[in-house]
Structure 1
């Protein structure tokens, strides 16, 4: 049984009380699959434990993107903005924050503004998605205001377009001068806000990522094989797309799932079949039962057979 959405409607057990979510996951299913926030994932897992129900959790998290100095900034911007604007950012494997080389922040934003203007000349045309409900719209507005109050610089990615609060159309913005005290750097965004951080060397980036819960996805833009191997070997995430975003989740021959705070278990392809199946081993004895030769008393034939087996394994 599967339950939940990309951004579950009860982000922790206290908000949902004893209504549908917690009660549903207390039922004795054969297997329960949940997609949502880490907070609710913990409650789901606790409920499943009471019935020893196996559980698969896809919990999202703050997935970083890294643009290396060797990679064309314009191409990176095109691919990052594709997923950040897709469904107005409401995708669990979306880019939650971005690292660019120091001094490249404004260049990235310039590319991003051009890209958004080309793809979404009118945010109200229907090509751009509304935020799913008022609660999530209010959450994103509060997250944005919290960043502003703490000194973030807000840069509109579609200057001149104001969106529509009544329809919950929220324009995309980049956030500069962000720090860890802001909600936007603490919680999964799940919306069209893009915090941008700069770095001087890759070790800074890896240290930052590794100090935080393992993300559901990680995106690296680099043509350097040694640099790719360094990031892959020194970080841990649910999945990775190199030189693009999101697409690893759409490969049916690749397993998909989180690790640690971003979830547990895999699905898609063969891994999905195994996840939702019970492997039931069956053995049928043949006409000759070889273990009969190893029954007590252990002198004679059994002892000689064990000596031969041990000798062969030397």
Structure 2
């Protein structure tokens, strides 16, 4: 699988939480060759492989579809656009960012900034989201024909390859997790598995794991793995890019699942890193663990730099290794 091409295709649809239909269609298209059935339910993309059988676990592999961004809250009399945040954003870098406003058509815009010549002597101020204004060049009258309150806004930054096996794009959180699952499904294609398997590409993770809660309730798995990103190359106690996926260890996760992931990685000689969390994980695994009568949940995370910015960065090698770990775990899950 050409990971650069796959990641470029997955990051092309600009879809903030609650507006994921375009990426859902792309994801469903990419998943169909590896599943018996694929459908889009309540915005989630759900694929199944194999039928449930007594004595065999049903495993769920999950990654979320959505990305952080903005929602239009107002078009001002002088033609500027006010927004609210969708998901957690860092506001220090907002001024002068290029954005796309997704109305009746895509509209190019820039977040306004004060030129440095006019800032002399003023105390540095980080604007809150309610203070941001987007300039599209249109008048209010023209803009209101193209854009409505409630439309989404995303960063206008292209997918780029970089030196050292890195790629950068605004939505690698969590399109790289989706890519890892697709790699795993390709590796498992045609193999006899000791389990039945579902894939969930879930909505609205950035708004509190809402799609995961709905999807897991419907699928009712025995074991669920949330494949997401974690902080990479940002100091101590975080993942190191290029050293493989991080396996979650937390009181809110199933220790049996964590141990089985570690055993699968070691047996297959896949490099991995521990991700120790003292409480909940901040991923969809938190919803899986308390679905119905409880699901044995685990996390597998890809180290990512510059999270929730327009320039998220990963090493594609880590995505490939994550896919290999997921496939190795599924092959051995009969003993889990």
TM normalised by structure 2 equals 0.27
More helix by share: 1
Answer with 1 or 2: which has the greater Rg.
Answer: 1
More strand by share: 2
